[in-house]
Every structure is written in structure tokens, then in C-alpha cells.
Amino acid sequence: PIAKLYNAMRALSEVKRDTKPNKDGVVVYWSRNKDLRLVDNTALSYASALAQDLGVPLLALHIFSPGDYAAHDRGPRRIDFQLRQLAYLKVEFAKHHIPLFTITQDRKKRKDIPRMLCEKLEEWGAVGLFANVEYEVDELRRDIEILERTKEARQSGKGFGGQVEFFKDFCVVSPGELLTKQGKPYSVYSPWQRNWADHVNSNLQDYVSQQNGPLLANPDSAKSHPILKPMFDHEIPTEIEGFELEGGDEEAKTMRHIWPVGDGITESIMRRFTHNKMREAKFFEPPLEGEDEEEVDDPKKSSKIGKYQEGRNRVDWDGTSHISAYLAAGLISPREPIRIAYKLAGSRELPAGRDSGIGMWIQEIGWRDFYQHVLCAWPRVCMTKPFNLNYDGTIEWATDDDGAKLQAWKDGKTGFPIVDAAMRSLKKQGYMHNRCRMIVASFLSKDLLIDWREGEKYFSQNLVDADLGSNNGGWQWAASTGTDPQPYFRIFNPLSQAEKIDPNGDYVRYWVPELRSLKGKSVHNPAATLSEKKIKELGYVMPIVDHAKARVKAIDSYKEASARG
């Protein structure tokens, strides 16, 4: 679909327009779910400059599509985060005399967006429509249809026939830009990453200096423009029907507290990571502001980013950036981490991952790009298919008739403290540490032998940083159906993993209060030292599965599946 999008864009540009742009018309920037910012936003910057050139005002449009949210298992927290940011952007756009107008598309008519939008563009006398590419299949198809409709309108002289362009913006290195020597898409991360790092380093000056132009203000008169005027008074909804936060006001308060939006927020989150000292036993525990954290004199070495090589593997430390939600919804430009790292490293090249915390952290940004690239090159992963077709319908998942095991996993009541702690952090914060994501994903798909798609869905519904590419990639990696060249017998042992990533047990004691009386690392395996009766008295549960036996069963099942595939 991505190639079709570019073809459709080319095809449109080849059909001449016989009408002159309407002088009372507007240029429309279509804000997407993943580019919710004013700075370094490729489509917005282009649209804004064009509006100035043509002397027509700019309109910012955002379409809510509950039907798409349902199809993508988008959760209320991610939507709430987006709505809060849009309310902030509404005010910021207005300062530039630009209205931010929203349309909520009927849930049952999500496929009708191209028709609806083209009619609106015609009604507004739009000169052009500009947006950043969304790489998911449904979204690409929608955008292709808009291009085709516009082309038809140009040919027939009826309907919206203006300029339509979609820009690459969501990645540092966009999907399709890196190919193997044979001209094929990379299917393995390591060689892809080497090429990615070389590419970034060879174009470093561009990334560092080349910001998309700033947002230019509409003239004052935009406020009395017949089309735009009523749009200035239009309010951003505070909820989307069917996607309300389950925990009501209480949850809304927590989300606002943990994931704030507004002026300077992404800068302060990043500064906390790049300049503050790593404190032991202080895992992700907001508030982000007003903490007694110290800035260090030599951030390159002693800050959290400086110590990222160790910090990223400790769930009891606050050792990662917590910028994922902001990157996923585009509150921060994907190119900003490169600029920050470059400035901090103070060298001509970005350091390699093995050499420093900064380099290691930048590699993670590479993972994010990699999974977008996979999504584009193998669009079947968007449609619940495994990347590795050997596992397409061949794994015999365990029977969990009443769904009790899946539910225990979701509720953080599996009897494996590290799994339970992680699942409870997800429920409470809409976030989970990366090491824990790997452990709970391996536990669901291997120990419980439950279809990884159940886990992917639950993550998507609950993570504030939910992103199809990274979430699907992470799940398929853990379930051994993805791009990971390691075979299926890599199965995380939740007990030994717990001792590595939470050596004193502080993380588990925080999230699983039933176990707070247990000292040191004994908290990771209560069943080893306590009777079933005692565990129940503490209010905790016995392990729902025997890891050693489950491991053997999972290996057998995957082996058979692989032979069948």
C-alpha cells in the first residue's frame, strides 16, 4: 500500500488542474493521531508556507474516527492523551490566528472518510490538503482513496480537485529508505540497524540543522473569514463516546499527573533523562516535577542517559526516558532525539551503542524505525498475521476455556510476582518497563501458551504509548513469530529474570503490596519458601503454571508448529 500511495500521489500530480485556486479558499493541514505538534512537523510546515505564498489562510483539521479506534484496539488512555494535547494545540494554533477544527466520523462510517472529507474540502473551497503519512494499512488505503477521488474530480471538473500531498514524518529514517544490497527490505534488525546508524551519521548535519520551517501565522482577518470564523469557537471534545476512561475522574487525574501535556513538557521530560542523576530504587514514580533529583556536572557520563547501558535493564531504577507516549502521538519530533544526542555527545558522529549510554539509547530509536519499516514492508502484520508464516495458524494454543488464565495475567494475579507487578503497573500507569514487557509477553505466549494477539490487544487498549508498529513488533518478537532470528526456544524464565532486573525486589514490593513483608529477593518466588496457606493468608496467589513444565510444552508446541508451517 505504501508504494500505491506514492503512485497515486504521482498520478494526481500528472493530471492538470483547469481551475485556478479559489482566492477565498483555504489550505488544509490534516492533523493525524501521530503528529500532534507545531514544531518540526513536515506537513504542517509545508501547508503553512504554501498558505503564506498563496495569501490564503491555513485551517488545521483533525478527524476523530471511533470506528478506526475500535478496529485498532485503541484504548481510552491513548485517546484521552490525544484529546488533551489537541485542546492545548487549539490554543496554540489560535495564537497564530489558525483555527483547529475537529470532525467526529460516525463509528459505522469509518470507510466513508475519503468521501466525507473530499466533500468538505469542496465546501471550504480548499486549495490543498496536506498530511503526514500514517503507515498502517487501513490508513494508507484511506489516503489512496482520497488521492484517487481528487484525481477523478480534476478530470471531471466536479468536486475537490486541489493539491493533495502526504509527507514522511513519523520516523528518523522513513520506511523504504534502507534496502539490502539485493534491493530487498531488511527482515533482521542487526544489519538494518548498522545501515540505519550509518545513514543517520552520514546525514547527521541535515538531521541536526534541518528543522521544518516554523508555523507561520494567518493574518488577523482569518478570524472574520466566512469559513474559518465559526471554527475558532468550536470546542475540542473531552471524551469520545465509547472510549471513556474506565476509572472515570480518578483515572483522568492519574493520567494527567503521569502523562502531562502542554508547554515545555517534552523538553523537561528529556532534560530529566539527559541531565539528572540516576537514583537507585527510584523506578518510574511520578510526579515528574518537584522531585529532589539533582542535575549532574557531566551528563554524558553520570546522567540517566549516560548510564543507560545499565539503567535500561533495571526496573527498580528510573533509568529510561519515558518519552514513548510523546513519540507515539508525535508531541515530540522523531528527529529531536537525534539532535539531543548529538548535542550531548559533542562529537562529529553519534556514538555507537556498545560505547556509551547515548549511543545505546539512540539504537532504541532505531528499533522504533525498524518496526515501522516492518509494518510497511510486510503489511500482513497489521492484519493479525504473523511475520513468520511458518506460524500462520499452526501453533496449537492452550485451551483456556473460561479465559481464567488470560484474566489472571491481565489482573496481575498469576503467582509470578514480577509478571504481576508489571501487569499492575500497566493497569495503573498505562506504561510498563521494556524488560517487563518482554517478560510478560513471553509468559503469556510461551508459559501460558495463549495467542500473542490477545496480549497485543490488551497492551494496545491500555498503553498510553500504544503504537501498532512497536507493539506488534514487540509481541511477535517475544512470541517468536516475528523478525527475531533467535528460535522459539528462547523462553524467559520469570524468576531468574526478576532477580536480574529487580535484584532487591523493590519494584515487586511496590506493585504487589501483599508481598511487602518478604525481604530481599525472596519476594520473587514466594512459593519457594512459603506454604500455600501462608501465601493465601498474605492475600497473594499460588503460581498458575509450573514454569519448567510449561517451557517444555511450549517448545514442543512451537517445534510441531514449525514443522507444520
- Count of residues of this chain found to bind ligand FAD when the rule CB under 6 A is applied: 28
Q: Which three cell numbers, joined as nine digits, stand for 531?
A: 506454604
Task: Please choose, from the candidates 482, 472, 491, the residue with its C-alpha nearest in 3D space to the C-alpha of residue 545.
Answer: 491
Candidates 62, 154, 413, 437; binder of ligand FAD (CB under 6 A) is 437
58 vs 331, beta carbon nearer ligand FAD: 331
Does position 471 interact with ligand FAD (CB under 6 A)? The reply is yes
Nearest to 15 by CA among 167, 156, 114, 165: 156
Residue 387 contacts residue 394 (beta carbons within 8 Å): no
Calculate ∠ Cα 238-244-250, nearest 5°: 85
| Residues noted as catalytic | 364, 367, 397, 434, 452, 475
Cell of 201: 551519521
Residue facing ligand FAD at closest CB distance: 474
Can you read off the three cell numbers belonging to residue 562? 514449525
Q: Is 365 in the site for ligand FAD (CB under 6 A)?
A: yes
- Applying CB under 6 A, does 463 fall inside the site for ligand FAD? yes
DSSP string, 341-400: HHHHHTSSSPPPTTT-HHHHHHHHHHHHHHHHHHHHH-GGGGGT--SSGGGSS---PPP-
Question: Is the C-alpha dihedral spanning 521, 527, 531, 533 positive or negative?
Answer: positive
Determine if residue 321 is labeled as part of a ligand binding site: yes
Which conformational region is residue 388 in: left (phi greater than 0), alpha (psi within -120 to 50 degrees), or beta? beta
Q: Would the annotation count 323 as a binding residue? A: yes
Residues numbered 317 to 356 that lie near ligand FAD (CB under 6 A) are 320-324, 327-328
Residue 465 annotated as lining a ligand binding site: yes
Among 371, 511, 540, 558, binds ligand FAD (CB under 6 A): 371
Q: In the numeric block, which cell numbers belong to residue 350?
A: 553519534
Q: Give the Cα separation of 107 and 105 in Å (integer).
A: 6
Task: Tell me whether residue 507 is annotated as binding.
Answer: no
Q: Closer to ligand FAD at the Cβ: 84 or 435?
A: 435
Q: Which residue, 100 or 171, has its beta carbon nearer to ligand FAD?
A: 171
Distance of closest approach, residue 325 Cβ to ligand FAD, in angstroms: 7
Query: Min. distance of Cβ 468 from ligand FAD in angstroms?
Result: 8
Task: State the minimum distance, in angstroms, from the CB of residue 440 to ligand FAD.
Answer: 8
Tell me if 365 is assigned to a ligand binding site: yes
Query: What is the Cα–Cα distance from 242 to 332, expressed in whole angstroms?
Result: 28
From the list 2, 3, 4, 59, the residue with the least C-alpha distance to 26 is 59
User: Considering the complex, what minimum distance in angstroms separates the CB of residue 505 from ligand FAD?
Assistant: 21
Least distance to ligand FAD, CB of residue 365, Å = 5
434 lies in the site for ligand FAD, by CB under 6 A:
yes
Write out the binding residues for FAD: 308, 320-324, 361, 364-371, 465-467
Q: Summarize as ranges the residues that interact with ligand FAD (CB under 6 A).
A: 312, 320-324, 327-328, 364-365, 367-368, 371, 434, 437-438, 441, 459, 463, 465-467, 470-471, 473-475, 478
Write out the binding residues: 308, 320-324, 361, 364-371, 465-467
